[in-house]
Structure 1
Amino acid sequence: MWTERHRLETLVNSKTAALKSSEQTLRAVLNSVNVAIFVHDLDGTILDVNEPMTLMYGVSSEQAKRMTIANDFSSQRNPTDQLPVIWQDVLNGNPRSFEWIARRPLSSEEFEVEVFLRRIPLKDRDVILANVKDVTDRKRVERELMNAKTAAERADQEKTTFMSIASHELRTPITALKVYLQLAQRALTRGDPVDSLTIDRSLEQTDRLVRMIDDLLDVSRIETGALALRQQSVDIAGLVKDVVEVFNHLGLNRKILLEPHLEAEPARAFADPARIEQVLSNLIRNALKYSPENSDIHVRLSIDGKRHEVRISVQDRGIGIPKDRQQNLFTRFYRVPSKAHLGRQGLGLGLYISKRIVKEHGGQMGVLSEEGQGSEFYFTLPLERLPSVR
């Protein structure tokens, strides 16, 4: 009797030791993997977790067992209806793998994970085993690669667009210049004087070509961070008057009157006068290009004392710009795609360059426009701060 009892006790102890050893081995294996492991009851209750899980989520094993996946370990940004569907599918014996936004309960920090769920037998019951891998770094690299790919494709498209636009737009003044030079050559061959109109038109096309080349050079300087400013104290009101005077003869020739409204004389800013003249000239040139005959162009200057800035605007009564196109006006090579703008397009660089110049001065540039009712382009510059007198 004693011998049989001793044998049974020995057998039980042996089996217990073997089971304990097996559990310790299993625990060691689970803790050695580089993924977080959750063991769930079929109703979703967390029965156990491994050590990598506690490190990944920043909670202890006992804390984890008092929490739930949906309420504590998942971001609210996840679709609320997706997890119950996945869980039911796994309960039906179908393993599921999916991406998820996880959450660390104690810090509310979120990170991206890959989850693999499957139903398995464990001891005397079935459980849901969840393997969770932190893929935050991998997803970040993937996004960076995708952004780089998108940027490269966009750059390639811009290059193609640039080549197409530049070849067309540069050819136009060159062709016209060639025609005028041929007319001058024929006149000289016949011994006739070259008429002033031919010379004027040749100079106009030369100026147009020079402006295009200058624009291309400016874009290169902007993109490489080499757009230098030679800033000094500038009388902005005087500069505006001078620019308007230069353009007035062009406006009058086309019956377009430029009317300066200098409401804030004097107004001084610390700026590069050549670059500010370039910006204003570009706005006036655009207004001339898109305005009908016998219409006025208003150039205004005003001071905002609260913002301590000067505002310069150019308003025309031209064809206007659709609202959905205005946000793209200041991007490279953009030209408004409408029939009303056909034949008046350029390289699509003037506004892009102008806005960057204004930004380098610490100002802002924008547009107010209604289709068919004209446009007002404006820019601001910080006023020069004079030293206080004591």
Structure 2
Amino acid sequence: MLKRLWSAYHQWYIKYSRFSKEDGQDELAYFRNKLFVSILILILPLGVISYIPSAITALILDKPFVFYVDTIAISLIAFLFFNNKMSLNTKKVVFAANLFVLSFALVLYIGLKSSSGLILFMLCVLVTLFSGRKSGVNTALAAAFVYFLIALSVYFKIFNFKVFQDEQIQVISIVFINNILFILMAVFSVSFLVQHLHNALLKENSLQEALVIKHENVIKAKEKAEQSDQLKTAFLANMSHEIRTPMYGILGCADLLKSYNTDDEEFKEYVSIIEGNGQELLDVMTDILNISKIETGLMTLSITNFNVNAVIDSIFTSFLAEAKAKQIKLTLNNFIANKDQMINSDQGKFTDVLKHLMENAIKYTEEGGHIILNCNVNIETSQLNFILNDTGIGVPKDKLESIFNTFYQVDVLNKDALHGSGIGLSISKAFIEMLGGQLELESHYGEGTSFLFEIDMNLKEKAPQSE
């Protein structure tokens, strides 16, 4: 509660005094002005609390001088506090003069036993804080000059100060000199601290400005990179579409050529080469178009009801010849008991996933290797689970996180390594996630790789993905 009251009091006075940072004012000057305002906010309530018992005690002990001095001092502080038209610099001068006069009035009335030394010490430190080292030193020198005049008057008995009648001039001089020395030491220490804090603040501001500039540059670079990536994606999508169209014409013509020169084996071989390579190029273009749609969020689902075992058997059979040519043993362990198992999913994307993973396994499995596809049903989760194991080259540990990145190839620096487009696994991962599952990879470099994934058997229609 006290914290809330103090906060409300502080905010009220800032608003009442109309304190704000002036145009062109540096940080140190603003800090000093803010500090002085904070001192006024703090010293008025503390001064009032201190004044009341002091005034009462002075009246009881019949010391009217102390009462009048304290009353004038607290009145001036209240005047400075409530006067919102006087400039801060003028307030600083009046504030300093008030405490200066108060301290020497106590010296002349009470003597060396008074708290004047402490008041002067505090005054010089405060002046150094809110006005700078020069003002603090000047205040200390002014105090030293007044001390000197008092000591001179006592020594030559110019004025009759009753409080110093029983004091030796040596004692008075030592007390006065020590007070000034301690004050100067405090002034220089505080000014040194303030200067270093100011330098640190300037350095921090400079670093913040540099950080802001770097942040703006990063944002611009990010926007430029995003724009470039969007242009790249759009270009790839357009190019793949433009190339696919004439490729259909080439493949169509190649199919027609099969009916000519049926007895010419060399002619048939050339047509087969055109057809095979054209189909490979068409598949690459299809993959590029798919990854472009995935990255732009335009890829959608086309859910139908189909026999999943028929699709698995068809895809597995289509790779038998290729595996046999490479002398790779290809095994299917289908544990889906119902041979007529129907599921609701996107047949095209499911087919693409199995094809890409099978192609990847055959490509990176050396002659004499073994590839096993396991399929089963998880009744509890209504999902189909797949595990594709191969005895291929495997993936290094440090590449496991990057293997699914678009256009990423594990051994791109090796000229003798097998390289593809680098998007098959990216498409597979994206399609599996659209089909309600996750694609996981387990691999040991030089030993083989396992791809594990699942798909929902009853997939519901979803809206197009967004970035």
* Paired AA for residue 279 in structure 1: V
Aligned to 2:384: 310
Provide Cα deviations, 1:74-98, integer angstroms capped at 9, x if missing partner.
Answer: xxxxxxxxxxxxxx99747412556
CA positional deviation for 1:280: 0.4
Number of aligned pairs?
Answer: 274
- Give distance in 2, aligned partners of 1:295 and 1:25: 94
Identity, in percent, stands at 20
Name the CA shift for 1:347/1:91 in 2 (closer, same or farther; >3 Å). Answer: same
1:218 equivalent in alignment to 2:290 = yes
CA positional deviation for 1:310: 1.1
- Give distance in 2, aligned partners of 1:259 and 1:28: 95
CA positional deviation for 1:382: 1.6
* Paired AA for residue 21 in structure 1: F
Q: Of residues 198, 209, 223 in structure 1, which corresponds to 2:270? A: 198
CA positional deviation for 1:237: 2.4
Aligned to 2:317: 245
- Give distance in 2, aligned partners of 1:24 and 1:158: 63
- Give distance in 1, aligned partners of 2:85 and 2:366: 84
- Give distance in 2, aligned partners of 1:222 and 1:154: 15
Aligned to 2:337: 265
- Give distance in 2, aligned partners of 1:246 and 1:28: 94
Provide Cα deviations, 1:331-379, integer angstroms capped at 9, x if missing partner.
Answer: 1111113666844212211111111111111111121110001111232
Provide Cα deviations, 1:23-45, integer angstroms capped at 9, x if missing partner.
Answer: 34589999xxxxxxxxxx9xxxx
- Give distance in 2, aligned partners of 1:232 and 1:18: 89
Name the CA shift for 1:144/1:28 in 2 (closer, same or farther; >3 Å). Answer: farther
1:289 equivalent in alignment to 2:363 = yes
- Give distance in 2, aligned partners of 1:210 and 1:378: 28
* Paired AA for residue 329 in structure 2: L
* Paired AA for residue 250 in structure 1: E
Q: Of residues 225, 228, 234 in structure 1, which corresponds to 2:300? A: 228
* Paired AA for residue 260 in structure 1: L
The alignment's C-alpha RMSD in Å is 4.9
Provide Cα deviations, 1:120-171, integer angstroms capped at 9, x if missing partner.
Answer: xxxxxxxxxxxxx9x9xxx99986974663464477589889999xx9xxx9
1:23 equivalent in alignment to 2:81 = yes
Name the CA shift for 1:232/1:323 in 2 (closer, same or farther; >3 Å). Answer: same
- Give distance in 2, aligned partners of 1:296 and 1:20: 94
Name the CA shift for 1:373/1:96 in 2 (closer, same or farther; >3 Å). Answer: same
CA positional deviation for 1:197: 2.8
* Paired AA for residue 20 in structure 1: A
- Give distance in 1, aligned partners of 2:388 and 2:86: 76
Aligned to 1:367: 441
Any conservation in 2 of the 1:237–1:265 contact (CA below 8 Å)?
no
Any conservation in 1 of the 2:409–2:422 contact (CA below 8 Å)?
yes
* Paired AA for residue 286 in structure 2: D
Aligned to 1:357: 431
CA positional deviation for 1:200: 2.3
* Paired AA for residue 19 in structure 1: I
Matches within 5 A, 1:157-168: none
Any conservation in 2 of the 1:237–1:301 contact (CA below 8 Å)?
no
SS in 2 for 1:270: strand
1:299 equivalent in alignment to 2:378 = no
Name the CA shift for 1:314/1:159 in 2 (closer, same or farther; >3 Å). Answer: farther
CA positional deviation for 1:223: 2.0
- As a proportion of its length, which structure holds more helix? 2
1:208 equivalent in alignment to 2:280 = yes
- As a proportion of its length, which structure holds more strand? 1
Any conservation in 2 of the 1:161–1:333 contact (CA below 8 Å)?
no
Name the CA shift for 1:201/1:248 in 2 (closer, same or farther; >3 Å). Answer: same
SS in 2 for 1:333: coil
Any conservation in 1 of the 2:384–2:456 contact (CA below 8 Å)?
yes
Any conservation in 1 of the 2:306–2:344 contact (CA below 8 Å)?
yes
Any conservation in 2 of the 1:262–1:302 contact (CA below 8 Å)?
yes
Name the CA shift for 1:89/1:236 in 2 (closer, same or farther; >3 Å). Answer: farther
- Give distance in 2, aligned partners of 1:250 and 1:322: 26
Structure ID, larger Rg? 2
Any conservation in 2 of the 1:256–1:297 contact (CA below 8 Å)?
yes
Any conservation in 1 of the 2:331–2:372 contact (CA below 8 Å)?
yes
Name the CA shift for 1:11/1:260 in 2 (closer, same or farther; >3 Å). Answer: closer
- Give distance in 1, aligned partners of 2:87 and 2:397: 63
- Give distance in 2, aligned partners of 1:308 and 1:382: 6
SS in 2 for 1:281: helix
Any conservation in 2 of the 1:301–1:312 contact (CA below 8 Å)?
yes
Matches within 5 A, 1:126-141: none
> Structure 2 unaligned runs (5+)?
1-63, 89-121, 123-189, 244-249, 460-467
Aligned to 2:403: 329
- Give distance in 2, aligned partners of 1:90 and 1:11: 33
SS in 1 for 2:319: helix
* Paired AA for residue 78 in structure 2: K
Name the CA shift for 1:90/1:310 in 2 (closer, same or farther; >3 Å). Answer: farther
Name the CA shift for 1:293/1:11 in 2 (closer, same or farther; >3 Å). Answer: closer
Name the CA shift for 1:204/1:29 in 2 (closer, same or farther; >3 Å). Answer: farther
